[in-house]
Every structure is written in structure tokens, then in C-alpha cells.
Structure 1
Amino acid sequence: MRPADVRRHLGTPLTTPVYPPRATRFTDREYFNVVYRTDPDALRAAVPEPLEIDEPLVRFEIMKMGDVEGFGPYLECGQAIPVCHGAEHGEYLHAMHLDNFGATAAGRELSAYPKTTGSPALFVEHGTLVGTLDYGSQRVATATTPYKWEPLDPAQAREQITVPTYAVKIVPDYTGALRVCDLVRTEITDITVKGAWTGPARLQLNAHVMAPLADLPVLEVVSASHILTDLTLAPVHPVHDYLTD
């Protein structure tokens, strides 16, 4: 393989396609969101400057990807924290657990999503929408809400999904130092809300060292939403360089 051929690849193994080199289109992406109030001190310890915390809130999310170009169906679960970057309101992506290696690798390598392994699930049982996260054999999270309990204004649903998101991009050097350490920004584009509902909810988080969602404890459930969409993820771009800070 010639050097020019090597340079055409985005990742390794060079002979194995892991993720497509383009923006990803999602069809029938289903969200179950639970917004809850948590410990302000725990949030301050988790959110990197220059992001700022307004209210001590966390959005727990489980996403069921019905049809994803380049990856196929998979599930994802994590936490996003409402923040401000200057005058802009958005969310800091704190943790993501997936059951698809290609989507995990693409999220980490092409973007800056804090993706790691896990076994999320989203299903309906006895009139209840149930979202769970397991790490190995251990249950980490359980969220429940009545199935399609009350319609949610599609404009409100769209606003929930399309807020700007921030994450930390880290690329180590060969010496063990950092080659890249950036705060990056992205957003969701080209979105169609196909259905949206709200209702009461419950959320339980269990302590786990490899999936420490419970480090941001649930003090009060504020709201919940169940949203079905089609959308595209935009590329990330840096907004702060920690190496020159």
C-alpha cells in the first residue's frame, strides 16, 4: 500500500471499514429524556471551564437509533448538562454508553463525543416506556414514563433536541503528553419531529465505577419527553484550546 493510499483512510484497520467519511443521517431516532435536579457541587466538579452552569440540572437520555447510515440500528444512553458558553445556552455532553463499536469509534475519533461501551434498552411494557442501561451484568439506570401520555408541542421538542452541544476533544501524543485538548461545539441539523409526548417520570441511578452516572444524583425529576425524529449530525469545530489556556 502506497503512502497516498494510507492517507486516504481515516482510521485503522486500513483494510476494514469502521465508519463512513461523511455526515451521518438518522431515520427514526427515538429519544427518552428525563431532566432532573442534582447536586450543584457535583456538577461544578464535572463541567470544564469556560462552560458555566446556570441551574443544577442534568438531562438523562436514551436514544434508540432505528436506521443509521453506515452503522445500522443501535442504542445509546448518557447524560447531558445544561450550560452557558458566553451568551449561548447549550449542553455539555458528560457521558455516552453505546452498544455499537463503529458508532463509538466514529463519535470519539471524528468528533469528540465521550462514547464508551454499555448495553442500553428502550421498550414498552404494560403501558410504560422503559429505558435502561446495563454495564456488563450490572444495572446502572432505569427510567420510566407512561407511554405517549400527553402530546408535546413539536416546536418545544425541536428546541430540546437542537440546542448546541459541547464536549472535550483529547488526542494524546506519542510521548504521553497531549497533542489536542479542545472544547468543541456541534449541533443537530436538518431535523424533522415525527412525534413528541411528555408525562410524569421516574429515574433510578445505581453506582458503578465504569459508568458513574450516579455521581450526579437524582434529587428531583423536573420533566420528561419522548420524541421521534429524523436528523443529521453536524461536524464539530473547536471553540477553546486548553493547551494555550
Structure 2
Amino acid sequence: MKEVDVAGHIATPLMNPAYAPVVPRFTNREYLNIVYRTDADALRAVVPEPLEIDEPLVRFEVMRMGDVTGYGPYSESGQAIQVRYEGERGEYLHAMYLDNFQATASGREAGAYPKTIGSPGLYVDSGVLVGVLDYGTLRVAAATMGYKHHPMEAEEAKAQITVPTYLLKLVPGFGDVPQVAQLVRTEITDVVVKEAWTGPARLQLFEHVLAPLADLPVREIVSASHILTDLTLAPAKPVHDYLRTEAGGSR
């Protein structure tokens, strides 16, 4: 292979990349969202500046991907923290756990998503929508919501999914110098809400050293939603470069 051709490949391994060169389209992407109040000090310890916190609110999510171009069906779970950046309210993606390696590698490399391997699940059990997350053989999260108790307006559901989202793009260099350290922003705009429901919910988080969701403890359930969508993810754009800030000697 000629030198000029190497940069045209998207990822390693060179001849068999870990993920397909596609913009994934999600069909029947199903959400269980539970927004809860946690400890403000716990949030301040994990939310990076220049993001700011108003209310100490976290959204625990479990998503079942019915079909995804390039990846097929899989499940995902994680935590998103309500934040503000330059006056704009949005969410900071704190942690994501998937049962699909290709989607995990793509999300980390091609995007800035904080993805790692886990075993999420979303299913109905005796009139209850159940969302769980296991890490290895241990349960680290269990959520329950009354199954389709009250319809939710499609526009309200769409607003939950299309909120501006902030992520950290961290790429290590060689030695002790990072190659990339950026705060990036994305926002889903291509979305169709097929169904949306709300109802009573509960959430339990269990302590685990490598899946520390319980470091943001549940103090009060604020709201819950169950949403079925078709959507396409939007590209992320840098909004803050930590390496340039460091080079400039100020924050």
C-alpha cells in the first residue's frame, strides 16, 4: 500500500477496520429514561469545566436498538447529566455501556462517546418496563416503570431526545502528552417519534468499582419516559480545546 493511501482508511486494523464506514441510521430505537435528583457535590466532582451545573439532575437511560445500519441490533445504557454551556442548557454524557463492540469502538474513535462494554437489557415483565445494566456477572442498575400508563406528547418526547449534548473527546498521545482533549457538542435533528409514554418509576444503583453509576446516588425520581423512535445521529463539533487553554496558561 502506498503511503498516500494510508490516511484514506478510517480505523485499525488497516485492512479490516473495527467498524463500518457508515453514518448509522437507527430504526425502532427504544428509550427508557429516568431523570433523578442526586448530590450536587458528586456532580461537581465529575462534570468538566467549562460546563456548569444548575440543578443536580441525572438522566439514567436504557436503549434497545431495534436495527442499526452497520451494526445490527444491540442495547445500551448510561447516565447523562444536565448542564449549561455559555447559556445553553443541555446534557453531558457521563457514561455509556454497550453489548456491541463495533458500536463501542466507533462511538469512542469516530465520535467522542464515553462507551465501554457492558450488558444492558430492556424488556416488559408483568406490566412493568424493566431496564437493567450488568457489568460482568454483577447487576449495577435496575430501573422499573409502569408500562404505557400515560401517553406523552410527541413534541415533548422529541425535545428530550434532541437536547444539545456535550462530550469529552480524549485521545492519548505517546508519552504523557494527550493528542486530543476537547469538549464537543452534538444535537440530534433527524428524528421521528413513533410512540411516547410516561408513568411512575423507580431506580436502584449498585456500587461497582469499574461501573461507578452509584457514585451519582438516587435521591429523588423526577420523571420517567418510554419512547420509540427512528433517528440518525448528528456529527459532533469541538466547542472548547483544553490543550489550547493549557498552552495559553489560563482557564
TM-score normalised by L of structure 2: 0.96
Tell me how far apart the structure 1 counterparts of residues 5 and 121 of structure 2 sit (CA, whole Å). Answer: 40
Map of 1:19-30 to 2, 5 A cutoff?
19-30=19-30
In the TM superposition, structure 1's runs of 4+ consecutive aligned residues that sit over 6 Å from their partners are: none
Q: Distance in 2 between matches of 1:90 and 1:22?
A: 26
Q: Aligned residue for 2:215?
A: 215
Q: Secondary structure at the match of 1:112?
A: coil
Gaps of 5+ in 2: 246-251
Residues 162-210 of structure 1: CA distance to partner in whole angstroms, max 9, x if unpaired? 0010011111111231111000001112100000000000000000011
Q: Which stretch shifts more, 174-183 or 209-218? A: 174-183
Which residue number in structure 1 is paired with residue 249 of structure 2?
A: none
CA distance in structure 2 between the partners assigned to 1:211 and 1:85 by the alignment: 27
The size of the alignment, in residue pairs, is 245
Give 1:18 shift. Answer: 2.4
- Answer whether contact 1:29 1:230 (CA < 8 A) is retained: yes
Deviations, residues 5-48 of structure 1 (Å, cap 9, x unaligned): 32221111112142233422111000000000000000111101
Write out aligned runs for 1:6-155 (5 A): 6-155=6-155
User: Any unmatched runs of 5+ in structure 1?
Assistant: none
Which residue identity is paired with 1:240?
H
Partner Cα distance (1:40, 1:175) in 2: 35
Structure 1 letter corresponding to 2:68: V
Structure 1 distance, partners of 2:163, 2:153, is: 16
1:2 is displaced (CA, Å) by: 2.2
Instruction: State the alpha-carbon separation in 2 of the partners of residues 52 and 101 from structure 1.
Output: 32
Contact 2:22 2:69 in 1 (8 A): no
How far, CA to CA, are the matches of 1:18 and 1:189 in structure 2? 27
Local SS of the residue matching 2:227? strand
| Separation of aligned partners in 2, 1:141 and 1:242 | 32
2:225 is matched with 225
Partner of 1:72: helix, strand, or coil?
coil
User: Partner of 2:45: helix, strand, or coil?
Assistant: helix
* TM-aligned CA deviation for residue 55 of structure 1: 0.5
How far apart are residue 4 of structure 1 and its match? 3.1
The alpha carbon displacement at 1:242 in A equals 0.7
- 1:162 maps to 162
Hey, what's the Cα distance between the residues in 2 that align with 1:124 and 1:170? 37
